[in-house]
Every structure is written in structure tokens, then in C-alpha cells.
Structure 1
Amino acid sequence: MKNALVYFSLLFFAVSCKDAAAEAPSKVVMMDMAAPVTEEAAPAMEVAASAEAIVVNSPQKTSETKIIKTGNLRFESSDLESSFQTIQKSVTKHKAIIQNDNSGKDDYSVYRNFTIRIPNQDFDAFISEISQGVSHFDRKEISQQDVTEEFIDIEARMNAKKKLEARYLQLLTKANKVSEMLEIEKQLAEIREEIEAKEGQLKYMQSQVSMSTVSIEMYTNNASQSGITVSYGGKIWNEIKSGFNGLSSFLLGIIGVWPFIIIFVLLFIFIKRRFKKKTE
């Protein structure tokens, strides 16, 4: 019986020590929070609070997924104008915008390249419509980039910087010394610059998400549209002209360095005569 009492006493003592240790941190925190805050320590505490805000406002998953869709198409068309009219109808139907439109021709074909910005939700339908009249694509690249996490991360960091900016503005109203005011204003300028940079990133990313980009390259080898002579004799004549132009460029290059050629010739004659006299 005596041994049982001793064992029970030891067990009660161990539990009491454990409870005291568990309560100790909370008491320390209460003492720290109750301690007076001096003016010198206020800025440091504000910065520490802002760092805590960044942790609290860490990126969280949201139901809204942000996808950047892009398309890159290249194909041959027997009639560029007809193909363009078909694409333009789809552009009007889906409320898209033709951003760039470039056309021209080379020695063998006529081409027309343009960039289209189209609402994200109409991207797949638009690609399907303009693909119906194309028998073969030289290139058809469709990509989807999920930028949801990146968008949320930038937004969270921007909000944290805005909270930090608000704290510094409060400190500015309480500052009494010119040196303190200048230091706070310097910090505010840096924070505002970071906020504006992140706002710009978010606007650009949101623009890419809401409006997808489709780049289209069309070309034709139809001689009636290009106005290019594609006969064998024409090709030979083009090569002859190309060779003549190359020869002309070579001769012009020689003319440009004629003083060095003269010096080289005179030096060669001088060395040859000197060698001839020695041999005699």
C-alpha cells in the first residue's frame, strides 16, 4: 500500500510539471504583448507585422482557373482573298479583333500573315471553324498554359505590399523628426514601385487570359494571283541576274580596296627584283 501511494505521488508530480510547461509560452506571449511599445521600436514592429501578413496571405486555391490559350497556324490556300473572307466572318461572329495584317510576295509565292485576338471562351470554336476549309496544315500548334497559381501568388504579394504601404503611411503621420520622415518616404516610394509593377503583371496576365491569341500564316503558289512567272526560262533568267549581281558586288569590293592591291603588287615586284639580283 505504501509503494502504491509513492507511485501515485510521483505520477501526479510529473503531470503537474507537464501542465506548467504547456502554460509557460502563453504567459510569455501575454507579457510581451502587454509591454509598452516605444517610438523607436514601432517601425521594426510594423515591418515584422507586414512580413507576417505575407505568410498569412499565402496563395490559396480558387475555383476560377486562368488559362492562356495560343494558336499558331500555317497552311496553303488556292485563293488568299476567299480564305481571308471566310476567316473574317468567323472573326465577326466571335467578336474577335484582327490585330496585325501583313501581306507580300517572294520569288515563288504570295503570303498573308495576321494575328487575331479572340475571347477565351470562343477559342476552340474559332479554331474548329477556320480549319474546316483547310485540307492540310504545314503547322498547327495549339497550347494552353495554366497560370492560376502564378496569378494568385502575384495578387497575394501585391495585397501584402498594399497593407505594408498603409502601415508606413500611418507611421508618416506620427513621425516628428525630418530624418524619420525622409526614411519613411523612401520606403513608401520603393513599396509603391513594387505595387505598380505587380499591378502591371496582373493586368497583362489577365489580358492574355481573357483574350486568346491566334497567329495565322497563309500562302499561295497560284501564278494567277501572284503575277510571278514560274516558267523554267524565267527561273534561268533569274539565276543569271543573281550571278551578275554577285559579280558586280565582287568587282565593287575590289575597287574599294585598290590602294592595298597596288601596294601589294609593288611590294611583290620589289622583292622579286631583289631576289633576282642576289641569285645573279
Structure 2
Amino acid sequence: MNRKNNRLFTILLVLMLALGLLAGCSSANGNMAKSDGNGMTSSQSLADSEAASEAESLTNDAKADSAPSANGTDEAIAVGGGLSSDTSSAELNGLNQKIIYTATLNMQVEALDAAATSLRNAIHQSGGYILQFQDTKHEGEIGSSYTIKVPASGFMSFIDRIEQIKHSSFERNIGGKDVSEEYVDLESRLKARQLVETRLLAMMDKAVKADDLLKFSDQLSVVQQEIERIKGRIRYLDTNVAFSTIELRMYQTNQNLNVEREEAKGLGGRMSDALASSTKVVWDAINLLLVVAAGAVPVLIVIALIGIPLYWIHRKRKRDSSNKTVD
């Protein structure tokens, strides 16, 4: 009897365990199905949210492109294609520094023509060119002003070569401007604008309504103008980084000019100068006498008005005195 009861108890226990396992599996399957349903709903909502966000971001960027942004990294992030601040800093640190070098030189030379020839030779040897040139002539001084572009790699050697030109005085002021950060910012903004341009072109291909096509066309025009402005600025920076700018002024004073003129004159020239100097002295003396005479005329008139009557009176008295003596 006890053995029979134990067998019955074992069978009941096995049945209860089997029912428990079946209930657990059913609950797990239900939870998985519910989780899959919620996941599909969440994914669909996320996709809709991303699509709406992208459309809104594209519209805002197309409107904002009419004015350059002060922060190119933020603009890139706004359209989903930019660089984070950490990435931008990493690029800036890894990028070769872009520095624009400039120099202002002022030198007094003993012979301007010879110095100009030496300067042109130095420019040619350095691979540079003259961007602007101007001659100046003042009383006692002649000079020339140059704006010169030379390769940045030979910037200092070119200045040293200029300093070797024979001169009386030499002044120089050298400076540099680091545009590496601006260059990275421009590249980031350019990528962002090009991404907007690509999306607008894709939307124009899919556009059905004429109003939508016109709107996308206007936005595309604004974006492309901004792209050209950014590219132009990048080209400007590239050119000025590759070629440094030197402002040079060379001048010759009157003393050196007079020495050159005396050396260039022969015997005939010196005789001509002597004759001209003598003639000038005589003419100056005549002018002085005429000026003195012109100034003395009023005084002479007054003296004549007073002196002539006195002279006649004195002469008449003398004549009368002589007549009385004779009598």
C-alpha cells in the first residue's frame, strides 16, 4: 500500500513539473512576441523621426546658407555630415600649419638704377614675381615701391639677398598669420554645403510639383553660391600661404643724385655750369639793383620836392650876395 501511494505521489509530482514547464514556455513566447511588436513600433517611430529631422535640417540649412556661419563645425553637425569638436581639433593638430608670411622693407640706396637691377635679378632667381610697381619723385628724392610675391620656402633667403644690395640704411618688419584653424573650418563648411547640394539635387529629381521644383532650385542656387565663396576663400589662402608678400620701398636722396650728376658731366658740362652760374650771379645783381631803385623812388621824390626849392633859394641868395660885393 505504501509503495502504491509513493508511485502515485511521484506521478503527480512529474505532472505538476510538466505543467509548470509548459506554462513558463508559453509566458516566454508571449513576452517575446510582445517585445518584437514593441521593437517594430519603436523602429518605425525612430525612422519617421529621423526622416522628419532630416527634412527640417535640410530646410534650415538651405535658409541659413545665405550668410556664412561663425562656426563651421556646428554647421556641419546640423546637416549630419560634419566633424565633432574633438575631430576638428585632431585634424588641426595633424594638419600642416598654414601660415601667411609678410614683410615690409624700407631701404635707402646709393644708386637706385643699380639697386633695381639687382632686385629684379633676385626676384628671378627666387622664382617670384612683381605684383605691383610704382615710381615716386619728390624734391631731393627719387624712389620705387614694389609689391613682390615669392615662394614661402625661400622667404627669408630672399630677404637676406635683398639686404646684400648696396644701401645706406635698411629697415624691415616681418610678420606671419596662422590660418590653419580657418582653413579647417572652411573645409568643414564646404563638406556640409556639398552634402546639402547633393540632397537638394536628389529632391529635385524626385519632385513632381512645379512649386516644389522651384523651391528646391532656389535653395540649390543659394547653396552653390556659398560653395563658390568658400572655394574662393580657400584658393586665396592657398595662394598666400604658398607665396609670401613683400612690400619694398627703395629710394635715393638728393646728395647721391648730385654726386652722380657731377660724375656723369665732362669738361663741356662743367663749363656750361660755370657760365650758367656766372650769368645767374649777374642777373641776380641786376635784379637786386632794380629792387633797391624801385624801393628808393618814393624817398627820392620827397628829397627832390624839398631839396630842389632849397637849392634854388640857396643859389639865388649866393648870386645876390655876389652882386652886392661887386657893387
TM-score (norm 2): 0.55
Please name the residue that 1:223 is paired with. 257
Q: How many residues align?
A: 204
Contact 2:145 2:248 in 1 (8 A): yes
Larger mean CA deviation between 98-107 and 116-125 belongs to 98-107
The alpha carbon displacement at 1:226 in A equals 8.6
State the AA in 1 paired with 2:113: E
3-state SS of paired residue (1:217): strand
Distance in 2, Cα, partners of 1:65 & 1:205 = 12
Q: Letter of the 1:32 partner, please give it.
A: S
For 1:90 and 1:171, the matched residues in 2 are separated by 57
Cα drift, residue 116 of structure 1: 0.9
Matched residue type, 2:257: A
| Separation of aligned partners in 2, 1:127 and 1:82 | 18
Describe the SS at the equivalent of 2:96: coil
Whole-Å separation in 2 of the counterparts to 1:113 and 1:45: 52
Equivalent position of 1:52 in the other structure: 80
Mapping of residues 110-259 of structure 1, within 5 Å: 110-133=142-165, 134-137=167-170, 139-221=171-253, 222-224=256-258
Where 1:54 maps in the other structure, the secondary structure is coil
Change (3 A) 1:188 1:81: same
Check the 8 A contact 1:69/1:212 in 2, yes or no: yes
* Corresponding letter in the other structure for 1:33: L
Tell me what 1:16 maps to: none
Unaligned residue ranges in structure 1 (runs of 5+)? 1-26, 228-232, 234-280
- Using the alignment, how far apart are the partners of 2:119 and 2:99 within structure 1? 24
1:21 aligns with none
Contact map agreement 1:90 1:130 (CA 8 A) in 2: yes
2:323 aligns with: none
Hey, what's the Cα distance between the residues in 2 that align with 1:152 and 1:98?
Answer: 30
Deviation at 1:225?
A: 7.7
Query: Is the contact made by 2:127 and 2:151 (CA closer than 8 Å) also made in structure 1?
Result: yes
Aligned residue number for residue 275 of structure 1: none
Q: Measure the CA separation in 1 of the matches of 2:221 and 2:138.
A: 53
Question: Does the aligned pair in 2 maintain the 1:50–1:164 contact within 8 Å?
Answer: no
The Cα shift of 1:131 comes to: 1.0
Question: Retained in 2: the 8 A contact 1:67–1:144?
Answer: yes
Shift of 1:189: 0.8
> How far is 1:196 from its partner?
0.7
Residue 32 (structure 1) aligned with residue 75 (structure 2)? no
SS of equivalent residue, structure 1 residue 33:
helix
Structure showing greater Rg:
2
Contact 2:100 2:240 (8 Å CA) reproduced: yes
Map of 1:263 onto structure 2: none
TM-score normalised by structure 1 residue count: 0.64
Change (3 A) 1:36 1:121: closer
**Does the CA-based 8 Å contact 1:123-1:212 persist in structure 2?**
yes
Per-residue CA deviation, residues 193-215 of structure 1 (Å, 9 max, x unaligned), is: 11111111111111111111111
* d(CA) in 2 for partners of 1:114, 1:83: 13
**What's the RMSD between the two structures over aligned residues?**
3.2
Kindly provide the CA deviation profile for residues 197-256 of structure 1, in whole angstroms up to 9, marking residues without a partner as x: 1111111111111111111101111233897xxxxx9xxxxxxxxxxxxxxxxxxxxxxx
Structure 1 residues 175 and 80, CA gap change in structure 2 (3 angstroms): same
Structure-2 separation of matches of 1:87 and 1:107:
24
**Residue 93 of structure 1 corresponds to which residue in structure 2?**
125
CA deviation digits over 1:74-99, x for unaligned, max 9?
A: 11111011111222221111111012
Q: Deviations over 1:136-159 (max 9, x none)?
A: 22x411111110110110111011
1:45 is displaced (CA, Å) by 5.7
Aligned AA (2:177)? Q
More helix, by proportion: 2
1:101 Cα deviation (Å)? Answer: 2.0
